[in-house]
Amino acid sequence: MTRPFDGRHILLGVTGGIAAYKSAWIARLLTQAGAAVNVVLTRSASEFIGPITFEALTGRAVYTALIAEGHALDHIKLARAADAVVVAPATADFIARAASGQADELLTACLLAATAPVLVVPAMNDRMWAHRQTRANVAHLREIGYIVLDPDEGALAVGEGAGPGRLPEPEAIVSHVARLIEPPNGLRGKRVVVTAGPTREPVDPVRFISNRSSGKMGVAIAAAAWRRGADVTLVAGPLAVAPPTGPAIVAVETTEEMRAAVERAIRDADALIMAAAPADFRPAMPADQKIKKSSAPSAIQLAPTADILATTIASRPERLVTVGFALETNSALEHGRAKLTAKQLDLIVVNDATEAGAGFGTDTNRVTFVGRDGHVEEQPLLQKGDVADLILDRVERLMHGR
């Protein structure tokens, strides 16, 4: 991921909880994405993890002291440079001090000097998280405009069992930071439905008909749309690995289940991006019991499944921008144009499954866009995340024209 981090400055505050070790990975992910990461450690955080670790991961100096010779205005400089402030983990003690507006150490002073958006990621014992005072402090931080995530549920420190209080995984936190700093765009507040992955049509209770789709393209689109501020529903077939955070997930198995889920979801949607590869055929008479090899039929009679894009034409709201995919093995552009017309699409994304780096299961794709007006745009081989943003750029323009 480089968008929207490239060239941006992130102030990462680390407080004194056992989850501080995860902050090192957050710093690494942000740096790899292209951000300049300034790390501020509280006094107690330095007892869990040292400044040298963060300096090695970010390539930048680490800040620990509010008052030090030659650094009297660090809290102003750091706050002024930041495009976002992230505190992860945020202990109950830190949340209490931040909520009361204290500036007794460098990190709390930075918060008071910051005008950039602030993301606070709590991590603590479940009983501390549930305490009325902690809840009141969190509510106050949200009232003054900070984004405060709820902690994950799961195993806590040794001997403390499990419950709500775990720091969310670094990938999820970085996704929230990306959404926080994404420049204003036409998707913010819009409802977007994305489909991803294959479907499976049962032959018997054990076997099924499916295809080679991994769902990576659809998942990349869903993640990018959520990062850009959309309210996203991801209708995910088997094998489609959900993004670390964000989209609401509707898990489906068969093409009919996907069709029904899409039809429900588009009623209030502004865009439908059909990136899934639903099975085109199903066994006409699936067996109730596992078919034994000794009694296997010589052929399996097939029946067509519902064409999701075609069958939802009548139920699409007028405002809905509809994008389809045409994955072909020959005459890709010709087949894509035919699908664009037959399915009444606003845009079709055409790619060739036989092309190296653009087929199933890859992290890259090379696509061609064909618009309703017949305009064709060929794209180079790109990471699927970059392809996702190109698609969403065009969806935004189509929405603007409605």
Q: How many angstroms separate the CA atoms of 5 and 1, rounded?
A: 8
Q: What is the CATH number of the domain that holds 118?
A: 3.40.50.1950
132 within a domain of the structure (yes/no): yes
| Together in a domain, 195 and 177 | no
| Together in a domain, 228 and 341 | yes
Are 336 and 328 spatial neighbours (Cβ–Cβ below 8 Å)? yes
Q: What pLDDT sits at residue 320?
A: 97
| Together in a domain, 108 and 245 | no
Are 15 and 45 spatial neighbours (Cβ–Cβ below 8 Å)? yes
Residue ending a domain, choose from 163, 181, 199 = 181
Q: How confident is the model at residue 401 (pLDDT cuts 50, 70, 90)?
A: confident
Q: How many angstroms separate the CA atoms of 215 and 336, rounded?
A: 20
For residue 302, what are the domain limits? 191-286+298-400
| Together in a domain, 343 and 325 | yes
Those residues whose C-beta lies under 8 Å from the C-beta of residue 66, and which sit 6 or more positions away, are 74, 75, 103, 104, 105, 106, 109
261 within a domain of the structure (yes/no): yes
Of 99, 114, 321, nearest to 221 by C-alpha is 321
Mean pLDDT of 251-255: 97
Q: What pLDDT sits at residue 159?
A: 63
For residue 217, is pLDDT > 80? Answer: yes
Q: What pLDDT sits at residue 240?
A: 86
| Together in a domain, 45 and 171 | yes
β-bridge mates for residue 249, sequence order:
234
| Together in a domain, 160 and 98 | yes
Extract the runs of DSSP E, i.e. beta strands, from 149-239: 152-155, 162-166, 191-196, 201-202, 208-209, 231-236
Mean pLDDT of 86-91: 98
Of 278, 169, 275, nearest to 222 by C-alpha is 275
Q: What pLDDT sits at residue 150?
A: 95
4 within a domain of the structure (yes/no): no
| Average pLDDT for the chain | 94
| Together in a domain, 236 and 174 | no
For residue 134, is pLDDT > 80? Answer: yes
Are 199 and 214 spatial neighbours (Cβ–Cβ below 8 Å)? no
Of 130, 189, 199, nearest to 165 by C-alpha is 130
Which residues carry out catalysis?
Answer: 211
315 within a domain of the structure (yes/no): yes
Q: What is the CATH number of the domain that holds 229?
A: 3.40.50.10300
| Together in a domain, 160 and 195 | no
Residue ending a domain, choose from 181, 203, 221 = 181
| Together in a domain, 105 and 231 | no
Q: What pLDDT sits at residue 24?
A: 97
| Together in a domain, 176 and 265 | no
Q: What pLDDT sits at residue 157?
A: 66
| Together in a domain, 177 and 195 | no
The count of domains in the chain is 2
Q: How confident is the model at residue 251 (pLDDT cuts 50, 70, 90)?
A: very high
Q: How many angstroms separate the CA atoms of 382 and 338, rounded?
A: 25
Extract the runs of DSSP E, i.e. beta strands, from 70-133: 84-90, 118-122
229 within a domain of the structure (yes/no): yes
pTM for this prediction: 0.92
Q: What pLDDT sits at residue 360?
A: 83
20 within a domain of the structure (yes/no): yes
Instruction: Say if residue 123 is exposed, middle or buried (CB neighbours under 10 Å; 0-12, 13-18, 19+).
Output: buried
**Cα dihedral 41, 45, 46, 51 sign:** negative
Q: How many angstroms separate the CA atoms of 80 and 109, rounded?
A: 12
Q: What is the pLDDT of residues 282-331, one digit of tens each?
A: 999 999 999 998 888 889 999 999 999 999 999 999 999 999 999 999 99
186 within a domain of the structure (yes/no): no
Crossing angle for the helix pair 170-181 and 20-32, nearest 10 degrees?
A: 50
Look-up of token digits 């100096």: 61
Residue ending a domain, choose from 128, 152, 181 = 181
72 within a domain of the structure (yes/no): yes
| Together in a domain, 228 and 377 | yes
